[in-house]
Amino acid sequence: MLEVADTHLKTFPMDHNGLVAAICKDFQIADRIDQLLPVHDARVVSPRPAVVALILNGLGFTNRRLYLTSKFFASKPVERLLDAPISAQDLNDYALGHALDDLSAYGVSRLFGTVAFGIALDHNLLGTLAHLDSTSISVSGEYAQASGEDGEPATIHLTHGHSKDKRPDLKQAVLSLVVNGPSQMPIWMDALDGNSSPPMSISGSRACPKRFRRRRNA
């Protein structure tokens, strides 16, 4: 990508990020999030561009920690990709952490389902058959379990369990995903305790989107 400012020329590598950003814009992901989460006028980075930035970073073929996100975007046309007047330096762990807090307060599975179902309904992507599977995500470190006391929200339990990463020595979380329709579009996601058993996690994840769809159609 080439940008011209006065007499100065700047070039930025778009790579695949332009395609991902265009899909996010076509599906109105940022607009849908704006309708669900509070807008904080005092923040430079609202949840709207923060979520799109995290999607781009997550699909950027990197395994960088949150505080390195600004470095990931340092060589990219941030304003064009995120459709917002922010810079790479604005995408720091403080700003992204606030956005993740907003997502957690709303409910990550609920937010994912609301956005995904909205996209599927608008584009006629839902079918009669759904497929569910789960995977494990290994982590390094102690990760003491939050007690939910002193105002801290309860979280999933990162612990040892059946590891699909073949790393039984590491603690893990379990991610359950439901896809639907001929395009196999993800419509529901659950983050579960690391020792969740497959039958229980599958039963719960299968029931949630059914209840969610009935509420939307009510």
pLDDT tens-digit map of 9-63? 777 777 889 999 999 999 999 999 989 998 887 888 999 999 999 999 988 777 6
Expressed as residue numbers, the domain containing 62 is 2-106
Judge whether 111 lies within some domain. Answer: no
Pair 43, 131 in one domain = no
Query: Quick check: 95 pLDDT over 80?
Result: yes
Pair 61, 152 in one domain = no
Judge whether 121 lies within some domain. Answer: no
Pair 85, 134 in one domain = no
Query: Quick check: 106 pLDDT over 70?
Result: yes
Pair 188, 133 in one domain = yes
Pair 169, 208 in one domain = yes
Pair 101, 131 in one domain = no
Q: Which residue has the higher pLDDT, 145 or 80?
A: 80
Q: How confident is the model at residue 65 (pLDDT cuts 50, 70, 90)?
A: confident
By the 10 Å C-beta count (0-12 exposed, 13-18 middle, 19+ buried), 211 is classed as: exposed
Q: How far apart are CA 144 and CA 104, in angstroms?
A: 19
Judge whether 122 lies within some domain. Answer: no
Q: How far apart are CA 112 and CA 75, in angstroms?
A: 29
Section 140-149 average pLDDT: 69
Which residues make Cβ contacts (< 8 Å) with residue 130, sequence separation at least 6?
A: 178, 179, 180, 187, 206, 209
Judge whether 22 lies within some domain. Answer: yes
Task: Please tell me the predicted confidence (pLDDT) of residue 141.
Answer: 83
Q: How far apart are CA 212 and CA 117, in angstroms?
A: 9
Judge whether 164 lies within some domain. Answer: yes
Q: Which residue has the higher pLDDT, 36 or 214?
A: 36
